[in-house]
Amino acid sequence: MAQIASPQPSEQVLSAFNASVSQPEKMSGAWDYGWRMGDVVFARATDIAAWSAKLRLKLEIPGARVVRPMRATDGRFVVGGWKANQHVPGELSKRVDETAALALRWDEVMLEQSEQVLARDDVFAQAEEIAWKETGEGYQELPANRPVVIGHADLLGTTIYSGSKSPAIVDVIPTAAPRPKGYSAALVIVDGLIAGACDDGICDRFAHVPCIDQLLLRAIAYRRHVNNLHPESKSYTRSHIERVEEYLLSRVNATMGA
């Protein structure tokens, strides 16, 4: 989705984070289209910014770097509607398989975390709730005893790569409710398919994930409902979602008919 960089942070915000004034550099969507000043990236804070910062402060994911938040001089993570993060080099990439594998490790780590989900009623939370209530063609209930975790709802859009270095998770976009293990990876796969960043064979490459086909259906339903509800949604994105959903349903129907 096309975005423009936000207004630059004020001197008061820079001072609060003890950051020096320097030539600002516009950043990509992975950094919320914010501004890099020296080794710090400033961006407008959303309702989940403080929650994400608190989690990322000490979070460790095997085989990945986690971008650490900056605290203001008074200990806050958000000042005047701005958040600040340490800058690390890297760019968004089409390395979907690697990011999906990272998502599986994310879910494993989150099993051990004690963070509570945020009470939310935004478009994304609404879309997620509707998607997990779908009962149409191909949808089946997942086993009741399957472990659930706070998933990452946009790992592909918040993970950057720099050569052979470990990927870096810039931000955490939590699912609105705990979801079955593997759902974070399903979202990565679906997002990669929608963007044309990977081939259909990725579904087979991750067939070892329990209930992956059902998780993929929930993930594509989530993206469909976001597209329906979000005021800035694009019609061409909807066509890609429909293409992927048709393919995923055909996989499920073929399995059920075998």
Cβ neighbourhood burial of 97 (10 Å; 0-12, 13-18, 19+): middle
Task: Identify which of 16, 39, 13 has the alpha carbon closest to the alpha carbon of residue 27.
Answer: 39
Structure-token pair, residue 229: 């509800």
- Size of the chain, expressed as the number of residues it contains: 258
Instruction: Give the amino acid at 255.
Output: T
Is the pLDDT assigned to residue 115 strictly greater than 90? Answer: no
At 1, the pLDDT band (50, 70, 90 cuts) reads very low
Cβ proximity of 81 and 44 under 8 Å: yes
Q: CA-CA distance, 128 to 119, in Å (whole number)? A: 13
How many other CB atoms sit within 10 Å of the CB of residue 212? Answer: 20
Task: Identify which of 194, 127, 125, 117 has the alpha carbon closest to the alpha carbon of residue 157.
Answer: 194
Running DSSP on this structure, what letter comes out for residue 166?
A: P
Cβ proximity of 91 and 162 under 8 Å: yes
User: 213: helix, coil or strand?
Assistant: helix
Angle at 192 between CA 220 and CA 258, to 5 degrees: 55
**Its pTM surpasses 0.85:** yes
- For residues 206 and 231, the model is more confident at 206
Question: What is residue 2's predicted lDDT score, i.e. its pLDDT?
Answer: 43
Residues 158-173: tens digit of each pLDDT: 999 999 999 999 999 9
Running DSSP on this structure, what letter comes out for residue 10?
A: P
Range from 32-36, 118-122, 250-254 that averages highest in pLDDT: 32-36
Is the pLDDT assigned to residue 186 strictly greater than 80? Answer: yes
Distances (CA, A) of 172 to 14, 198, 204, 234: 23, 23, 27, 24
Strand partners of residue 159: 169
E strands in the chain = 25-26, 35-37, 40-44, 65-66, 78-79, 82-86, 91-92, 148-149, 159-161, 168-169, 179-180
Backbone angles phi, psi at 94, to 5 degrees: -90, 25
Residues 34-93: tens digit of each pLDDT: 999 999 999 999 999 999 999 999 999 999 999 999 999 999 999 999 999 999 999 999
Q: b/e string for 39-71 if b means 16 or more Cβ within 10 A?
A: ebbbbbbbebbbbbbebbeebebeebbbbebbb
Pairing relation of β-strands 65-66 and 168-169?
parallel
Pairing relation of β-strands 168-169 and 91-92?
unpaired
